[in-house]
A and B are shown apart, each in its own frame.
Chain A
């Protein structure tokens, strides 16, 4: 029984890790830059396609494709930010929604054109599949791997935003663009880099997610709810919040499905509504 429970807990943490990985990029663009970027899923899917193509066409090993996915989507993000996104920083959130949805439509059609509507096959390397026996539990190797990645990503992001000069510039630019520019911060560059970071993280999440979430052109719409869920509950822009929210949602979702499968589908949504009614600004959100 207790072993059961620990197993469920582990699965919940692993699932939460996945939610974190696919949502953190959105938290960066939405929270740090105040841009409602619903095209986040399109960046994630692009990351996934970069991984799959690199693996299946070019024979690059899976682990090596992950940084490639990060860099490729980050570059794509910079290009789009400079050409399109930056014109809309001052637009209303609704215009941003419409714009990013429009981009997503285009991306979905484009991905269908290039890769077809079929599920993309991905075969993980042997050492990432199967289970290991640890402390009396059977733990999925790939799930352990996801958890490790989450630890690294979180640590790197917290360090970047809280401790580095760049992080300080980002926070300053978001709070007050004019004053920051007056202090000699190159606001444009800061925003472009932040956007690249958000897109890159989306791409990384997409690459890591294929094995569990699958990958086809409808990915950006299919999982949009999940991205938003994590960010809203965590409080946009808070890395810690996103992590805690993802873990809480992941654990409760898995536990609900294991112990009460009849209502399994409701758990994650009901929990979200309850959490948001209790914490309208998200768990770690800035108070308005």
Chain B
């Protein structure tokens, strides 16, 4: 009798616990710039998250997923720290997802690590960022990862003498070094490296310098958006293409705004990146469909949206594997850091040692595809470490 009673009590207790779980949603705190000069990034990441929820429902293992969004306003470390702290302490989130720059990712990371809540890095792209965030896992990319293969490709395809042009700050210098590394280790020579000021509305003088130096090709990376558009425009405006100086550029600089502004001129441009909307898999089609639904077809997704989408996929997986019980932050982190799955960009693997993403990098060419210009992948470099 006693046994039965305790058994009954146990059943009731378990049922009650499940009930509490079911009532309490799983909370994801999303930090990204919704306003200010980087609002576009925020919109793309936000839509990536929404697309995943749209495609996979808002309930996992009986628990509802609730995303709480916060505006970082741009690279603002103390705002990142404050928002992360408020999300952890006040809103009691189970996961933090940061789609911003390195500073606020790092400061949110100290909060996440102190509170033992996993943090998903879905945009910051400086090397080794997860070293500094014990509870951080990266699902996006690093600049080194996507640039080095492009340098190697250029050297293997008969280009010998190149110049580089990058923005004069951390990520730009990362790109310059990684490209140089890939290019020179395959027999190429960098004749000159030009760095442009961080806030530069005018690329004329720099492009002119390149034109006067007459290398075989020019590698470019500047922050995407107005700068990228501007530098590519200046390249054509100054007739470098006609002077026989090829443009080799990172893929994040060549997307919708460039296609809209320059059209057929950019046909044939070769770029590298880890995601293209033209990636021919079912997983990508599913993503594109969901993304179009949540945005009303107003914008095209980018690699940023995909990273956010994959971050959500990882969260869903971690919830599912623990049957909705996230009490142990370390265990959740362990699951997140050991994942591998098919993403819209291709297969991604998280290296459990570094908690950083290992993925394929694609060499692509701008071509007409699906009735518009797209970056069509023609060469795959698999399993590139960050």
How near does chain A come to B164, taking the closest CB pair, in angstroms?
Answer: 12
Nearest A residue to B224, CB-CB: A119
- The answer to whether A131 and B230 touch across the interface, beta carbons within 8 angstroms, is no
Nearest B residue to A213, CB-CB: B201
- Tell whether A167 is near chain B: CB-to-CB under 8 Å: no
Nearest A residue to B193, CB-CB: A261
- The answer to whether B40 and A261 touch across the interface, beta carbons within 8 angstroms, is no
Partner of A131, one of B206, B212, B238, B261: B238
| A8→B202 CA distance, assembly (Å) | 13
| A116→B256 CA distance, assembly (Å) | 14
- The answer to whether A216 and B212 touch across the interface, beta carbons within 8 angstroms, is no
CB-CB contacts of B238-275 with A at 8 A, as 1s and 0s? 11000000000000000011001111000000000000
- The answer to whether A254 and B40 touch across the interface, beta carbons within 8 angstroms, is no
- Tell whether B330 is near chain A: CB-to-CB under 8 Å: no
- The answer to whether B196 and A264 touch across the interface, beta carbons within 8 angstroms, is yes
- The answer to whether B208 and A221 touch across the interface, beta carbons within 8 angstroms, is no
- The answer to whether B197 and A214 touch across the interface, beta carbons within 8 angstroms, is no
- The answer to whether A118 and B226 touch across the interface, beta carbons within 8 angstroms, is no
Nearest A residue to B36, CB-CB: A218
Number of interface residues of B (CB under 8 A): 41
- The answer to whether B225 and A216 touch across the interface, beta carbons within 8 angstroms, is yes
- The answer to whether A265 and B208 touch across the interface, beta carbons within 8 angstroms, is no
- Tell whether A67 is near chain B: CB-to-CB under 8 Å: no
- Tell whether B198 is near chain A: CB-to-CB under 8 Å: yes
Name the A residues within 8 Å of B382 (CB-CB): none
- Tell whether A164 is near chain B: CB-to-CB under 8 Å: no
Chain B residues 331-351 with CB under 8 Å of chain A are none
- Tell whether B205 is near chain A: CB-to-CB under 8 Å: yes
- Tell whether A11 is near chain B: CB-to-CB under 8 Å: yes
- The answer to whether A265 and B261 touch across the interface, beta carbons within 8 angstroms, is no
- Tell whether A138 is near chain B: CB-to-CB under 8 Å: yes
- Tell whether A228 is near chain B: CB-to-CB under 8 Å: no
| A92→B212 CA distance, assembly (Å) | 52
- The answer to whether A11 and B40 touch across the interface, beta carbons within 8 angstroms, is no
- Tell whether B293 is near chain A: CB-to-CB under 8 Å: no
Partner of A130, one of B194, B229, B239, B262: B239
Name the A residues within 8 Å of B230 (CB-CB): 212, 214
Name the B residues within 8 Å of A4 (CB-CB): 212
Name the B residues within 8 Å of A226 (CB-CB): 201
Name the B residues within 8 Å of A286 (CB-CB): none
Name the B residues within 8 Å of A121 (CB-CB): 257, 260-261
Interface residues on A, range: 35 or more
- The answer to whether B205 and A257 touch across the interface, beta carbons within 8 angstroms, is yes
Q: A140-B237, A216-B226, A261-B195 are in contact. Are A117 and B39 (CB under 8 A)?
A: yes
CB-CB contacts of A193-222 with B at 8 A, as 1s and 0s? 000000000000000000111111110011
- The answer to whether B208 and A8 touch across the interface, beta carbons within 8 angstroms, is yes
- The answer to whether B40 and A264 touch across the interface, beta carbons within 8 angstroms, is no
- Tell whether A82 is near chain B: CB-to-CB under 8 Å: no
Partner of B37, one of A14, A118, A222: A222
Q: A7-B208, A211-B233 are in contact. Are A116 and B43 (CB under 8 A)?
A: yes
Name the B residues within 8 Å of A54 (CB-CB): none
| A211→B256 CA distance, assembly (Å) | 16
Name the B residues within 8 Å of A14 (CB-CB): 204
Partner of A258, one of B195, B199, B201, B205: B205
| A156→B280 CA distance, assembly (Å) | 58
How near does chain A come to B258, taking the closest CB pair, in angstroms?
Answer: 9
- The answer to whether A117 and B260 touch across the interface, beta carbons within 8 angstroms, is no
| A39→B40 CA distance, assembly (Å) | 22
| A264→B36 CA distance, assembly (Å) | 26
Chain A residues 249-288 with CB under 8 Å of chain B are 253-255, 257-258, 261-262, 264-265
- Which 10 pairs of residues, A with B, have the shortest CB-CB distance? A214-B226, A121-B260, A265-B197, A117-B39, A218-B37, A258-B205, A257-B205, A117-B40, A119-B257, A121-B261
Task: Provide 29 A-B residue pairs closer than 8 Å at the C-beta atoms, listed in order of the A residue.
Answer: A8-B208, A11-B205, A112-B35, A116-B298, A118-B299, A119-B226, A119-B257, A121-B261, A122-B261, A123-B262, A131-B238, A140-B237, A142-B237, A212-B202, A214-B201, A214-B226, A214-B230, A221-B37, A254-B202, A254-B204, A257-B202, A257-B205, A257-B206, A258-B209, A261-B194, A261-B209, A264-B197, A264-B205, A265-B199
